């Protein structure tokens, strides 16, 4: 199972049993605080689904839902709350939340709701990108190769996936940790040097001057942006 979930919770102990249970069932779960989400504005876009644990005076799920939707983040959102207040549920749905679950709840029910939202997303998802042209380069993702100056250049499997992810998210700044999670499939993103090495190899294949890259641009202190 390759499901990447982001859990926004008020503290490390909050819904820990839920997080552990989802990991035991094969989900890749990253848990953060509201503060961390604010620091990394593109983090939420790199997950299949987001769970927000609403906590009075600590985590405002309504504000988080509204903020993410204002940023055009379309990732499905499930809000988990302690109190079943009708006005709060209505406000969450109006702000862009997709589901609302009251604690305590059965893990089977949460998983069923997660899978229902992900299945709906798959039905809406566009077909995988087969090819793309940019800056005099044509890349064929099905063949894992690109054509530049009439020369055919082979891409490694990882380079192919990395370039496809950049193309699908062109213009967006993407953190190294997000690339490790979405392209490499790592649960915990700590090997950021791996990303830098593959970026360097890819630049040598697509950039006119790899030492002065114009297509895969470094965003200091954060990650990379594809401008092709």
Cα dihedral: 121, 125, 128, 131 (round 10):
-150
Whole-prediction pTM value? 0.59
Question: Closest by alpha carbon to 139, among 225, 68, 211, 205?
Answer: 205
Mean pLDDT, contiguous 10-residue spans, the chain (228 residues): 81 85 89 67 76 82 85 87 80 92 90 90 69 92 91 93 91 83 66 84 94 93 88
Q: 154-158, long-range: CB within 8 Å, 24+ apart, which pairs?
A: 155/205, 156/201, 158/183, 158/184, 158/198
Per-residue model confidence (pLDDT) at position 37: 62
What integer pLDDT is reported at residue 38 of this predicted model? 58
The domains of the chain, with CATH numbers, are: 4-124 (3.40.50.2300), 131-226 (1.10.10.10)
């Amino acid at each position: 199972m390759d499901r990447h979930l982001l859990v926004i919770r008020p503290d490390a102990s909050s819904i820990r049993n839920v997080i552990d249970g989802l990991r035991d069932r094969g989900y890749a779960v990253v848990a953060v605080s509201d503060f961390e989400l604010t620091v990394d504005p593109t983090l939420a876009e790199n997950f299949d689904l987001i769970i927000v644990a609403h906590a009075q005076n600590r985590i405002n799920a309504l504000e988080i839902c509204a903020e993410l939707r204002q940023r055009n983040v379309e990732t499905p959102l499930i809000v988990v709350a302690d109190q079943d207040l009708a006005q709060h549920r209505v406000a969450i749905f109006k702000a862009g939340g997709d589901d609302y679950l009251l604690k305590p709840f059965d893990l089977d029910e949460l998983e069923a709701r997660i899978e229902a939202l992900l299945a709906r997303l798959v039905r809406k998802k566009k077909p995988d990108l087969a090819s793309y042209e940019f800056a005099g380069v044509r890349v064929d993702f099905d063949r894992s190769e690109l054509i530049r100056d009439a020369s055919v250049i082979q891409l490694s499997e990882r380079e192919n996936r990395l370039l496809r992810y950049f193309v699908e998210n062109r213009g967006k700044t993407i953190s190294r940790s997000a690339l490790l999670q979405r392209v490499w499939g790592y649960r915990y993103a700590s090997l950021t040097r791996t990303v830098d090495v593959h970026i360097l190899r890819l630049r040598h294949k697509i950039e006119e001057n790899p030492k002065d890259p114009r297509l895969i641009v470094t965003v200091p202190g954060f990650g990379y942006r594809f401008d092709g």
